[in-house]
Homo-oligomer: A and B are copies of this chain.
Amino acid sequence: MHNVLTLGKIAELVGGELRGDPAVEIRSVAPLSSAGPGDLTWVVDRQHAAQLSECQASAVLLRCGLENGQLSAVVCDRPELGISKVLECFMPPLPHPPVGVDPTALIADGVTLGEESAIGPRVLIQRDVAVGRRTKIHAGAVIAAETQIGDDCTIWPNVVIRERCRIGNRVVIHPNTTIGADGFGYNFDETRFRKIPHIGTVRIEDDVEIGANSCIDRGKYSETVIGRGTKIDNLVQIAHNVRIGENCCIVAHVGIAGSTELGDFVTLAGKVGVKDNIRIGNQVQAAACSCIAGDVEDGQIVLGIPAKPKSEFFREHLAVRRMPKALEDIRDLRKRIERLEAANNQETS
């Protein structure tokens, strides 16, 4: 953690070209609209570059080809990546438990803990769990029997991971999230619902991040799978036997029903609902609040309830906006036809 970075140091850090005073001192990062003295801001397009003249920031990270006006600048290909690197330098240490096992943690028989792992206060780790190297498990987390967690993971406080789940390396799970609870499956038997046993598990691959208060249910007979590099936001529901591909983005309040499959690089914006037992192709994007009720082919952008391809949605959406006018048009046409009919009748009578 740094308290101050010079602009010269920042140019070095982001691999950019310095324009202006290398001694300018940067203490924080802020967007164009609120940046003040001591702040580094960033600009990626011409429209925002035009506002730089009124900005109080001490310096700007600028996309190549843009003008920085009066400000000292570092020019680079992707300012947003550069800003991330600068933020990493300013980042205070995270409140992880120290390496080792807190005396109030409960570690059952047959548990293996990797080198430099850190097990916080009041953690419960049941029998035959394996925890990887440098993995941090925060206070109040519960890891049930036979679950495996890889290296360099962070399990934040009060997370619950049920038995026999498999968590890869560099996985982050935010507080109060539940992994591996029973799926929602019942058979209706004469007069009541009978629970379907859920003997499957959950597999979370490397580099997955899962937000706070989310739920990933275990499979009925096989695994629920979250593919490598996929990022899941808060309050998301992933039902039993769902299979999510690699590098997907699943935003807050999304719900995916049972046994549905997602390809790679799928983006589901906030509050999207996805039906059970369907297939969403690679690189599909669904707009916020959509409800996907059938298969979607690779590369489609869909929206609406039920979700439709973008062009179809907007054609209908536009048509609906024109409806009040169309109803007036119909009334007008009817009157004109009535007049024509009256004229015709008169003529022929």
CB distance from A154 to the nearest CB of B (A): 10
Contact of A322 among B83, B139, B235, B327 (CB under 8 A): B327
Question: CB-nearest residue of chain B relative to A90?
Answer: B199
Contacts of A321 in B (CB 8 A): 316
Chain B residues within 8 Å of A257, by CB: 251-252, 270, 288
| Distance of A229 Cα from B188 Cα, bound (Å) | 11
Taking a contact as CB atoms under 8 Å apart, the answer to whether B178 and A182 are in contact is no
- Number of copies of this chain that the complex holds: 3
**In the bound complex, how far is the Cα of B231 from the Cα of A192, in angstroms?**
10
Chain B, residue nearest A81 (CB):
B187
Provide the residues of chain B in CB contact with A291, threshold 8 Å.
271, 288-289
* Chain A interface extent, by class: 35 or more
Task: Report whether B215 and A215 are in contact in the complex, using a CB–CB cutoff of 8 Å.
Answer: no
Chain B residues with CB under 8 Å of A233's CB are 184, 237
> Which B residue's beta carbon lies closest to that of A102?
B106
Q: In the bound complex, how far is the Cα of B94 from the Cα of A145, in angstroms?
A: 9
Q: Which of B80, B187, B252, B305 contacts A184 (CB 8 A)?
A: B252
Q: Give Cα A176 to B142, complex, Å.
A: 11
Give A211 to B195 CA distance when docked, in angstroms.
Answer: 13
Name the CB-closest residue of B to A234: B215
Which of B94, B194, B304, B323 has a CB less than 8 Å from the CB of A163?
B94
CB-CB under 8 A from A95, the residues of chain B are 126, 144-145, 162-163
CB neighbours of A327 from chain B (8 A): 319, 322, 326
Indicate if the CB atoms of A305 and B289 lie closer than 8 Å: yes
The answer on a CB contact under 8 Å between A28 and B221 is: yes
In the complex, the answer to whether A176 meets B174 with C-beta atoms within 8 Å is no
A19 within 8 A of B: no
Which residues of A282-325 are within 8 A (CB) of B?
A: 288-289, 291, 293, 304-305, 315-316, 318-324
Residues of B within 8 A of A139 (CB): 124, 142
Chain B residue contacts of A259, Cβ below 8 A: 31
A53 CB-CB contact with B under 8 Å: no
Rounded to whole angstroms, the CA-CA distance of A87 and B259 in the bound complex is 17
Among A121, A199, A247, A336: residue with most chain B CB under 10 A: A199
Contacts of A181 in B (CB 8 A): 156, 174-175, 211-212, 234
B residues in contact with A160, CB < 8 Å: 140, 156-158, 175-176, 212
Q: Is the CB of A121 within 8 A of B121?
A: no
Tell which of B29, B195, B215 touches A212, judged by Cβ atoms closer than 8 Å. B215
A233 to B31, CA, bound (A): 30
Which residues on the B side are within 8 Å of A106 (C-beta)? 104, 121-122
How far is the CB of A120 from the nearest CB of chain B, in Å? 8
Q: Once the chains bind, are A199 and B92 in contact (CB under 8 Å)? A: yes
Contact status B305-A316, CB under 8 Å: no
Give the B-binding residues of A (Cβ under 8 A): 28-31, 34, 78, 80-81, 83-84, 87-88, 90-92, 94-95, 104, 106, 120-122, 124, 126, 138-140, 142, 144-145, 156-158, 160, 162-164, 174-178, 181-182, 184, 186-187, 189, 191-197, 199, 207, 209, 211-215, 217, 220-222, 229, 231, 233-235, 237, 239, 247, 249, 251-253, 255, 257, 259, 270-271, 273, 275, 288-289, 291, 293, 304-305, 315-316, 318-324, 326-327, 329-330, 333-334, 336-337, 340-341, 343-344, 348
7 residue pairs from A and B, CB less than 8 Å apart: A78-B187, A104-B106, A139-B142, A174-B178, A184-B231, A212-B215, A318-B324
